[in-house]
Amino acid sequence: MKNQFSFLLIGLCLLLVLPACDTTSKAGKAGEPVFITPVGVQAYSFRNYFPKDIPGTLDQIQAMGIKEIEGGAGRLPPEEYKKMCDARGISIPSTGASFDQLEKDPAAVAETAKKLGSKFVMCAWVPHERGKFSMADAQKAIKVFNNAGKVLKENGLTFCYHPHGYEFQPYGKGTLLDYIIENTDPKYVSFEMDVFWVQFGGGDPVALLKKYGKRWKMMHLKDMKHGIKKDLTGGTNVEFNVPLGTGQIDMAGILKEGRKLGIAHYFIEDESSSVVDQIPQSIAYLRSLKY
């Protein structure tokens, strides 16, 4: 008993004299790289290539040094697609599902995700009248997301909603995006930030990362051409996607904040017709960033 008391006393003394450790900040030291996670890509970036040649497209992705991919390859059975990715050292940590699928059969969504070896399921669009996302739309989304998120969690998966910019309709002292985040259950609903669409809708990516912290689990990285007109439609010319670091988005600030939050999966999404040329430029930019 005496020895136990001595150990407790020593431990208390150490807590009093040792400097407190910051367990929340993961910022690097001066000169260290900012981006330290595996490079990922959103499969939609190669939507014009996959239908023509799935193995060849995956070979291209592998050759770029990409280790993670989000999403499947169209109608190819998930088991077969996973086998192709595995053979190239590419994992599929996240896959997508439509709002309709999540509403009608979230269990089937979970089954597909598990066949891919995914841990996350993301949804990137809530059906609504273009440019007129409403409170009713937001409330329906909250209901569907909470329900589907619960089913996915019961299957060992995490659901993430990917805002698309139209959610920045004003509401109260904030926006309908704030309303969605604040009214979805954190146990069942997380979020994936697409930095392009957040900024296109009038949001501030860094400020939103700070505001909602750990609700953000993943990120789409894409940069935006300077001088373009922004709106609340959630859509614009795909050629406004430019290589990371060459556009108007504070990519360095976003990545530093994302690292503090411990975001583990970043997917480059380039919707332009120059994706094969631009993604290597984006990867080089990510690897060049230093504190």
Say if residue 287's pLDDT is above 70: yes
For the chain, what are the domain ranges? 35-288
Instruction: Give the span between the Cα atoms of 69 and 72, in whole angstroms.
Output: 8
As a whole number, mean pLDDT of residues 117-137 equals 97
pLDDT at 5: 35
Instruction: Give the span between the Cα atoms of 14 and 22, in whole angstroms.
Output: 16
- pLDDT band at 25; cut points 50, 70, 90: very low
**Phi-psi sector, 3: left (phi>0), alpha (psi -120 to 50), beta:** alpha
- Look at residue 242 and give its three-state secondary structure: strand
pLDDT at 22: 37
As a whole number, mean pLDDT of residues 38-65 equals 97
Instruction: Give the span between the Cα atoms of 134 and 128, in whole angstroms.
Output: 8
pLDDT at 283: 98
Please name the CATH architecture into which domain 35-288 falls.
Alpha-Beta Barrel (3.20)
Q: How would you label 205-239 residue by residue, b for 16+ Cβ within 10 Å and e otherwise? A: bbebbeebeebbbbbbbbbbeeeeeeebebebeee
Say if residue 199's pLDDT is above 90: yes
pLDDT at 219: 98
pTM score of the predicted model: 0.90
Q: Please state which of the ranges 21-25, 152-156, 209-213 shows the lowest mean pLDDT.
A: 21-25
What Å distances lie between residue 73 and 18, 62, 69, 84, 107, CA to CA?
Answer: 53, 15, 10, 11, 20
pLDDT at 88: 98
pLDDT, mean over the chain: 92
Q: Tell me the percentage of the chain whose pLDDT exceeds 70.
A: 91
Say if residue 182's pLDDT is above 70: yes
Tens of pLDDT, residues 99-112:
999 999 999 999 99
In terms of Cα–Cα distance, which of 217, 216, 205 is closest to 252?
205
- pLDDT band at 177; cut points 50, 70, 90: very high
Contacts with 265 (C-beta within 8 Å, 6 or more apart), sequence order: 37, 40, 68, 70, 93, 94, 120, 217, 218, 219
pLDDT at 26: 66
Number of neighbouring beta carbons within 10 Å of residue 65? 12
Cβ atoms of 195 and 249 within 8 Å: the answer is yes
- The type of residue at 22 is D
Cα 69 → chain centroid = 11
Instruction: Give the span between the Cα atoms of 6 and 277, in whole angstroms.
Output: 65
As a whole number, mean pLDDT of residues 18-34 equals 63
As a whole number, mean pLDDT of residues 126-149 equals 98
- pLDDT band at 27; cut points 50, 70, 90: low
In terms of Cα–Cα distance, which of 248, 220, 93, 216 is closest to 164?
220
Say if residue 56's pLDDT is above 70: yes
